[in-house]
Amino acid sequence: MKNTFFKNKSLLSGILIICVILVIDQVSKIYIKLNYPITIYSNEAIIDWGFFKLLFVENKGMAMGAKLNDIIPFLPEKTSKLLLTLFRLVAIVGIGYWLQSLYKIKTSVYLRWSLCLIFAGALGNIIDSVFYGLIFSDSYGQVATFFPDQGYAPIFFGSVVDMIQFPLFEWTWPTWIPIIGGQDYLFFQYIFNIADASISIGVAILIFFNKKIFNQNEKIESAVTP
């Protein structure tokens, strides 16, 4: 009875983590989409507190705006976008399968929570990529409408909504440094969303608590192995 209760309680906490992150992520994105046009430059920030900016950009690629056809130049942009979305779908299925298997045994709470965060973040961005092109109109120079007669892109070709930036430090690299010398640099220049933050926190938990995670898993495996 105690083991069953533990599994049910831990499963409910995992589902709660995923649902809370998904709701916050999607509500924030939908709010931005339905209230603001795309902000092309940082001086058009919706909120600008210096160290924090609320913007609205759409990301057609991966993290930090990278695209698959940047890595594989001969790929057409549409093919690159479709392959990226399909890869994300396959990845989320794999993460989901791994996650549900962890709740069948008493694994490290750090591992379960980190995968819940990664799963929720990945799912949040997949929703954008798969459905946003259908359910929103274009946001360039105008505020998007919800469920228009025709969306801005077909299914699987939507863009991920990014809006958060923390431009904490800005400096110019010394001229004696090769390649980047004399260039201005902003930390942190990348614009992200709640889903991205969730994935990053999940990965950080895996990195910082890896010894606890894998030591506990080894003890569990040795205990169940005859």
Known catalytic residues are 162, 196
Q: Say if CB 193 and CB 163 are below 8 A apart.
A: yes
Query: Among residues 161, 132, 137, 159, which one has the least CA distance to residue 148?
Result: 137
In the three-class reduction of DSSP (H, G, I as helix; E, B as strand; rest coil), residue 105 is classed as coil
- Beta-carbon neighbour count of residue 45 at 10 Å? 17
The helix or strand, by DSSP H or E, that contains position 11, with its residue range, turns out to be helix 2-35
What do you get for the CA distance between the two ends of the chain, in Å? 23
AA identity, residue 177: I
Q: In 3D, which of 165, 162, 137 has the Cα closest to residue 43?
A: 165
List beta partners, residue 57.
162
Scanning 103-193, the segments in alpha helix (DSSP H) are 109-127, 133-135
CA dihedral 207, 130, 192, 172 (to 10 degrees): 100
- Residue 71 exposure: Cα atoms within 13 Å on the Cβ side: 10
